[in-house]
Structure 1
């Protein structure tokens, strides 16, 4: 695997970030950074599009064109046309090739790299095209602030208050990243991997009484989304980590923010 710095990864997307709404651009840049911290490298493949570029994409797969359809939006009907959408791809181990393989796991953590990107995108407040019902657009991310393309065509834009809310979210995540040491981040990632492995092992029908408080603390720390259906080893590990004070990291971060 070719080792690339964050700066080298960021440079690969610079041209595609030109013309994006400034706040949306900050969010996309933060996404690249947070994915890199998780061992997943992404590049932005599409950003702002002109109406003509959008119409050319819309024509693909239509009117005798045998290529697959890639969009259902004509020019003026895509959020790409207004600087509030971007498409991404995974950057492979050679540092040059990109992939849209949603099951790929180059960082070998038992989670598809694509899913990790989507998870970070949602944390940043981005909408993912893979959740759409009528036309799933797996590489697509956008942030529309409740505005439709008709609103954008009419000249409407997000209010400053809406933009400030997103900037505050970014700053909050930045504070969290800065408070946690590299060792703490590595420990949480290792724990998440272990949790995934153990959740698929022998499952108990209910949480043992001796593990209930540890599971409550783990959920409060954001390590677990649910405590049911774990294995004996899973509950034993959670209890040991709780007794070691691992789950107090998030609580300490929360208190630090309240005091500053």
Structure 2
């Protein structure tokens, strides 16, 4: 497997996992490349272990010789490493380790979460993820050489499938109807208040219907949807911001762009 082939195979896993864990895709790819020798290590070939994580994995464990640094000196030791059924399990386990830390310090790698890849590399190294004193610089060299930071910013349009785009088009039509209803409200204070309340219920109804549309699995609030979620909470239209579907957060984003997530305060 060439380095380009390795990166191409890693991108879908790293980017998809980034949406869940907020671990920069560039960090995931660079660590996998460094730890696995670009997918050629015996640990990766035999156990699908991309990151050299020790312990018991979904497919058991395998003993391997490894290099560790003690007092700045490289030494060879034998240890048990986790085995996985596929690369996806390895990537998920890697991110879970970063987000969940270790038993004696669950927040050990917190500073490596929700930051750019290079910052994450420095923070994870500073937290003691690896014993190699040059670990961070090696990761950053890989990121620079293969322009991996581009995968940390997933463009919304590139994420959308044809089905997603159709759903958004249907939403736009429904929003146009809502805009028309809002425009037809009278300037009377009492009437306007009533209209805003009615429209709020209508929007909330749309949100409830869209929340059950078949689509992506329940997920945490993605960064691109945070402004819309905050607006919906302020408008009293959203009780639980996290745990929505992919389509639900896209719907909120469209509503927010249309200026319909309003509180009605001061009206």
Shorter-normalised TM-score: what interval?
A: under 0.3
Higher helix share: 2
* TM-score, structure 2 as length reference: 0.25
* TM-score, structure 1 as length reference: 0.25
